[in-house]
Amino acid sequence: PATLRALADRAHVKIGTAVDGTALAEDATYRRITAREFNSVTAENAMKWESVEPERGEYDWTQADELVRFAHRNGQVVRGHTLVWHSQLPAWLTAGVADGSIGKAELRSILRNHITTEVKRYKGRIQQWDVVNEVFEEDGSYRNSIWLQQLGPSYIADAFRWAHAADPKAKLFMNDYNVEGVNAKSTAYYDLAKQLLAEGVPVQGFGIQGHLATQYGFPGQVAENLARFGALGMQTAFTEVDVRVLMPADEAKLATQATYFRGLLDACLNARSCKSFTVWGFTDKYSWVPDVFPEEGAATLMDEEFGRKPAYAAVRDGLAAG
């Protein structure tokens, strides 16, 4: 039977997964399935700032390098995640801003140095970078992060310019959750994209994370949303898809879950702007969901023993039809 990646290759799309750096190092079954089923990978945590620069000026690229090597060996592209985020910042940075020892001008040059260092390190080996992640609130106002507070909204355009200078061929994305359909938050991204493009800022893509939950329903107007970004000449991608259910999972919930995966995949395959669909982990064995939502889980394509769930078949059938 065909693998997901063989079907995706035939449909000229990328089927990706987030990769847990520790599982990649320690779990041979996990490695084998990652290589067999996917033609794109994203570091789940290994490229985040707190991972790569835990102490100021002291870098640790171990897991990030390992993933990039793994991808190269297995003929996979890499999505870089993520350069500017309010979360998973190193303690030295947040503490320095909080106690005033890192002022605004210095913070700006620290950010520029972080982006330049990381993007240059993987120049030519990252197909798409999530340059800014989760910069808007649900109501479409800018997220009140240290970046906004210290640097003002121009940090976003700066980040894209610095990333582009470091690797002119990488496609540069903005990325967020709860932006599958047309709503206040996705409209804020649409307006920002229009503004950045008008100013000549190098932004090429809109990443839709796609963290869904069956109890909240399937989002409306997904096709319309993808189409309006495509009309701006932007690429779109689903970057972190998973569909959690209220535990315990049962047959009916897993059947609904499968239709949600298929719904997002079909929206991508039907949109000219969308050529990349990434799941946020493929096995419940390593999913982030139960740590953050203790009542929820079973959010991925395979159970904890790597058994294929209905969602796996739904994605396979969708790729086969696409």
Shortest Å distance, C-beta 276 to ligand G3I:
16
Residue number with CB closer to ligand G3I (7 or 174): 174
Contact 179, 139 (CB under 8 A): no
Classify residue 239 by its DSSP letter.
E
Residue number with CB closer to ligand G3I (87 or 149): 87
Residue in the block written with tokens 């290994």:
46
Shortest Å distance, C-beta 99 to ligand G3I:
23
- Choosing from 44, 53, 118, 240, the catalytic residue is 240
Residue number with CB closer to ligand G3I (44 or 167): 44
Contact 93, 49 (CB under 8 A): yes
Contact 66, 25 (CB under 8 A): yes
b/e string for 129-158 if b means 16 or more Cβ within 10 A? bbbbbbbbeeebebbebbbbebbeeebbbb
Residue number with CB closer to ligand G3I (7 or 30): 30
Shortest Å distance, C-beta 217 to ligand G3I:
20
Residue number with CB closer to ligand G3I (124 or 294): 294
Rounded Cα–Cα distance for residues 193 and 175 (Å): 12
Strands 171-176, 77-84: pairing is unpaired
b/e string for 168-202 if b means 16 or more Cβ within 10 A? eebbbbbbbbbbbbbbebbebbbebbeebeeeebb
Residue number with CB closer to ligand G3I (29 or 88): 88
Residue showing the smallest CB distance to ligand G3I in the complex? 288
Q: At what angle do helices 154-166 and 184-198 cross, to 10 degrees?
A: 60
53 given a catalytic annotation: no
Shortest Å distance, C-beta 80 to ligand G3I:
12
Contact 186, 234 (CB under 8 A): no
Classify residue 300 by its DSSP letter.
S
Give the residues lining the site for ligand G3I (CB under 6 A).
44-45, 87-88, 133, 177, 209, 240, 288
Shortest Å distance, C-beta 4 to ligand G3I:
20
- Choosing from 44, 53, 118, 134, the catalytic residue is 134
44 given a catalytic annotation: no
Active site residues: 134, 240
